[in-house]
Amino acid sequence: MTVRPIRLYGDPVLRTPADPVTDFDASVREIVRDLEDTVREPGRAGVAGPQIGVSLRVFSYNVAGQVGHLVNPVLSDFDGEQEDEEGCLSLPGLGYSTKRAMSVTARGFDLNGEPLVIKGTGFLARALQHETDHLDGRLYIDTLTGDVRRQALRELRRGRPAMTEVRRQAGPAGDRGAPSGAAR
């Protein structure tokens, strides 16, 4: 079991669009297993490749006790709207009301390259959208507007020294898909 450290706001890997997975080899299967182990930690609903320093289009989720993953996700069939507080492991301690679609369909592949379709509503739809945003180099705070966005950015600036220290302990950003045992 490998629980990988989470990259924090300010780490460039979080703002860089992730590369598509082209080979479903042993290293990709290891990354998927690491993502699933990492998302099983209490209080976690999703973890994307960039959040563990792997710039590949893959994420795991843990919603209502169901742990899964999706490689090279594409979202469609957005329907309805929900607004609820959203947080992010890469922005610890922050949470803001965020609008998302109420339901969405995510199409991609499993760790063996077999097609996979996940239809999500409610919290699962929110998690699928949040994690796919990570793969595109976006964070949920990017969707905030007005005073709420200004408040979030102020909070991030205030917390930056503590996040910088945690980031320093996690190591450098941007390994491009190296398995958990590889040097970062």
Show the domains of the chain with their CATH numbers. 12-170 (3.90.45.10)
Got the DSSP string for 74-128?
Answer: EEEEEES-EEEEEE-TTSTT-EEEEEE-SEEEEEEE-TTS-EEEEEEETHHHHHH
pLDDT in tens, 34-81: 999 999 999 999 999 999 999 999 999 999 999 999 999 999 999 999
Q: In percent, how much of the chain has pLDDT > 90?
A: 77
Residues marked active site are found at 131
With CA atoms as reference, report the closest residue to 128 among 144, 115, 140, 143: 140
Q: What is the pTM of this model?
A: 0.85
pLDDT at residue 63, as a whole number: 96
Query: Does the annotation list 134 as a binding residue?
Result: yes
Residue 177 φ then ψ, to 5°: 100, 15
pLDDT at residue 57, as a whole number: 98
Query: Does the annotation list 88 as a binding residue?
Result: yes
Query: Does the annotation list 34 as a binding residue?
Result: no
Gap between the Cα atoms of 152 and 41, Å rounded: 25
